[in-house]
Structure formats: structure tokens, C-alpha cells
Amino acid sequence: MDRSGSTWRDDQKGQVKALDSMTTKWYSFIRISRPEPGRVVAEVEVDADSPWFSGHFPGNPILPGIAQLGMVLDTIQEFGHGECRISGIKKARFKQMIRPNDPITIMTTCRGENPASYSFRVMVKGQPACTGLLIAEGA
């Protein structure tokens, strides 16, 4: 849901339209777009009360890398190529910490079909927080 109370989803033609609530247990998709075929850009919001923050690290909360990779996989599944699982991660780089209430943008680009591979970039405040290549099985 964006600040106006609207939620968005791409209509698969590069346009953005309203979407039914797309809230997971610990974060929400705010806005989704497909600027070009095979590419998805998702703005997400992680609740400051997320259990990920409470255990990692007390007094200095950051979003763990596994949670970031989970959001990348969810983006691929929900707005890319359907049900799949991670069969590999290559060239993963964690460059910046994500803290509670930080604005997050996830960008994925399909790089290959067999096996399905996706370059990804998790951005926080416009800067790369995590980058890499996700290999998916079952996509």
C-alpha cells in the first residue's frame, strides 16, 4: 500500500494498476512495475516490528541477508515466473545494512531460461544493499 492507501501491480504491459492486498507475514509490496520484458521492480516495506529485526541484532536491528534473498525470490514468484525455489546464488554481495523503516526497492531481471537465472539488486535509500544472481529451479 502506498502513502495514499492505494496498492499497485503491473498489468504485464509495462503499466501499473491497483492490486489486491499483497502483504506477506513480515513485509508488504507497495508498488510493482515491469519496465521491460523480463524485468520487475518492486517497492517493499518491512514493518519495524518484524521478528527479523528483533533477533538480528538486539539494540542494533538490521535485516538479515536471508530475509533479503527471500524477498527477491518472492518477487520472482509473484511477479515473474511462478512457483520456483532457489537452487543457487552466485556473486552475492551485501553492501549496506537495511534498518527498520528503510525504503527498499527490489529489481530482478531474467538472464536465462535453462536453468532460470535472475540478476537482482536490493536497494535501500537508492543505494545497493544486496546484489547477485539467483538460480531458480521449477520456474
Tell me how far apart the alpha carbons of residues 76 and 58 are, in angstroms, rounded to a whole number: 31
Q: State the catalytic residue, choosing from 19, 45, 56, 70.
A: 56
Does the active-site annotation cover 81?
A: no
Nearest C-alpha neighbor of 99 from the set 134, 131, 52, 136: 52
Neighbour-count burial of 63, counting CB atoms closer than 10 A to its CB (0-12 exposed, 13-18 middle, 19+ buried):
buried
- CB atoms under 10 Å from CB of 62, counted, come to 18
Catalytic residues: 56
